[in-house]
């Protein structure tokens, strides 16, 4: 479950640790929404680098957003390819 406050969301990992992320953007791939996130704390235990963008699937439950890790490699690769395509179009 995540709490939203401006561009900062707080989510809880599988170990019960709260992690804050800045929402950079949202993308939709095959009618599924994804959030591009950057950790706000450099010493978090999310396993990511300081400037690494994390991609999470978004599910809506009523007015709440749930952020889910993408565990399927094929799904992640499809989303990553879409994001790279957008970046390439912006750079051109």
Per-residue pLDDT tens for 39-79?
A: 887 555 555 555 688 999 999 888 888 889 999 999 999 99
Which residues lie closer than 8 Å to 84 by C-beta, 6 or more apart?
Answer: none
The domain spans of the chain are 2-91
Distance CA 83, CA 33 (A): 13
What does DSSP say about strands 54-61 and 64-69: parallel, antiparallel, or unpaired? antiparallel
Whole-number pLDDT of residue 91? 76
Per-residue pLDDT band for 17 (boundaries 50, 70, 90) equals: confident
Per-residue pLDDT band for 86 (boundaries 50, 70, 90) equals: confident
Distance CA 60, CA 26 (A): 14
């Amino acid at each position: 479950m995540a709490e939203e406050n401006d561009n900062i969301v707080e989510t809880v990992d599988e170990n019960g640790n709260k992690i804050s992320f800045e929402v950079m953007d949202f993308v939709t791939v095959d009618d599924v929404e994804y959030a591009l996130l950057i950790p706000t704390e450099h010493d978090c235990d999310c396993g990511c680098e300081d400037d690494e963008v994390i991609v999470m699937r978004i599910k809506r439950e009523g007015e709440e957003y749930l952020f889910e890790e993408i565990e399927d490699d094929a799904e992640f690769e499809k989303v990553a390819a879409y994001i790279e395509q957008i970046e390439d179009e912006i750079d051109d």
